[in-house]
Structure 1
Amino acid sequence: MAKAFIRRYLPSPEQIREMKGLGFLRNRLSDPSLWHLNRRSASWAMFWGLFCAFLPIPFQMVPATAIAILFRINLPLIILLVWLTNPLTLLPFMYSGYWFGSYILDVPMLSWHQLEHLATRAMHMSDAPVDAFEPGLLQQLKPFFLGSLLLGLILGTIGYIGMRYFWRWHVIRAWHKRLAERLARKQPNASSSDPKD
């Protein structure tokens, strides 16, 4: 079934409870609906997990977990999808977000070197006083923020629709398989009715 197929790739409840940064939400993780997997919870987890993966903020697991608790949807699937953005995939995600935002706003795209420099400046925004910001930093970040949010919405919607169709396909396939097995059991054994040579 679809449930068993998806569960194979999900983190365990113990792994999630031990994650750093989720300590203040740990007492809310006992809700059984966060661990239940059905078509509704899996579809919404796809939407919110992909959306949160594209959020241009650090510690995306915190809002993802809060959303799972608020809407009572499958937490392991949301967490798995948020892990799509990690140190290895961060630059391609940033590039695609910036590219999409610059296309929407009709502003010139930055080079890889400029994007890397912009990412470094953005990561140190909290360390520097407000008057020490380089001029135009927030203006340069606007395409990145807009593109990331829009890509998260678009890919989240595709993930939601895709999961609903995947779940339905899996259920229909399992039903046809059971039906074929039932029909095969009902048919008499052809070899026993053949006359012996």
Structure 2
Amino acid sequence: MFSAWLQRFKPDTEKLRAHKSLQMLGPALHDANLWHFNRRSARNAVAVGIFCAFLPIPFQMLVAAFLAISCRAYLPLSIALVWLNNPLTIPVIFYLCYVLGNALLNLPAQEFVFELSWSWLVKSLQTVGVPLLTGCLVAGVLSAIAGAVLMHFGWRFQVARRWKRRRLSRGQS
């Protein structure tokens, strides 16, 4: 049922393959798992997308696309899951990752006041960059593993439930 619903939003693969910005990926875009929603490609896509959502870098969707290709993951889902980290959730996620990084590295919390300037960003990365990056990578890996495991067992549970329903509808037990 979910895959049928998802198929309505699936982009045309031929149009994507012909898109000039994606031409640099070449024949890698012809892998069937990138465009076919199955248990393995979906599990890999969840792991890739969630991991990339925690990366504190611009262009997370490009990183997700390259990782999806290398992991043979369902490309649209990998890219869509990056949007878990959106303008509303970025401050919360990155703050919690910073706190996690401080706890893992056993560092004291740094006091800082936000300014929208390049000099503030460079100065802040020198003080909070290492704990932020550490927390983001650890949270990304753990969340990706948890998401992949939940997707894997959720898919298996759904298939078992469908088989049981089919058996019961045929009058077998």
Query: If the length of structure 1 is used for normalisation, what is the TM-score?
Result: 0.73
Say whether the 8 Å CA contact 1:46–1:160 is kept in structure 2: yes
Larger helix percent: 2
Question: 2:150 aligned with 1:162, yes or no?
Answer: yes
Structure 1: which 5+ residue stretches go unaligned? 185-197
Structure 1 residues 115 and 38, CA, compared in 2 at 3 Å: closer, same or farther?
A: farther
2:10 aligns with 12
* CA RMSD, Structure 1 to Structure 2 (Å): 3.1
Question: 2:126 aligned with 1:138, yes or no?
Answer: yes
Say whether the 8 Å CA contact 1:11–1:80 is kept in structure 2: no
Count, aligned residues:
169
Identity of aligned residues (%): 38
Deviation at 1:176, TM superposition (A): 0.6
1:1-150 mapped onto 2 (5 Å cutoff): 1=1, 3-4=3-4, 7=6, 11-14=9-12, 17=16, 24-25=24-25, 28-110=28-110, 114=112, 116-117=114-115, 120=116, 124=118, 133-134=122-123, 137-150=125-138
Deviation at 1:86, TM superposition (A): 1.6
Say whether the 8 Å CA contact 2:44–2:68 is kept in structure 1: no
Structure 1 residues 177 and 183, CA, compared in 2 at 3 Å: closer, same or farther?
A: same
Structure 1 residues 137 and 37, CA, compared in 2 at 3 Å: closer, same or farther?
A: closer
Say whether the 8 Å CA contact 2:33–2:73 is kept in structure 1: yes
CA distance in 1, matches of 2:128, 2:148: 31
CA distance in 2, matches of 1:138, 1:151: 21
3-state SS of 2:78 partner: helix
Choose 1 or 2 for highest CA Rg.
1
CA distance in 1, matches of 2:114, 2:23: 32
Q: 1:172 aligns with which of 160, 164, 169?
A: 160
Q: What amino acid sits opposite 2:164 in the alignment?
A: H
Deviation at 1:80, TM superposition (A): 1.3
Structure 1 residues 164 and 183, CA, compared in 2 at 3 Å: closer, same or farther?
A: same
Q: What amino acid sits opposite 1:31 in the alignment?
A: D
Q: What amino acid sits opposite 1:174 in the alignment?
A: R
Deviation at 1:51, TM superposition (A): 0.6
Q: What amino acid sits opposite 2:150 in the alignment?
A: G
Deviation at 1:2, TM superposition (A): 5.5
Say whether the 8 Å CA contact 1:45–1:75 is kept in structure 2: yes
Deviation at 1:12, TM superposition (A): 2.3
CA distance in 2, matches of 1:77, 1:137: 31
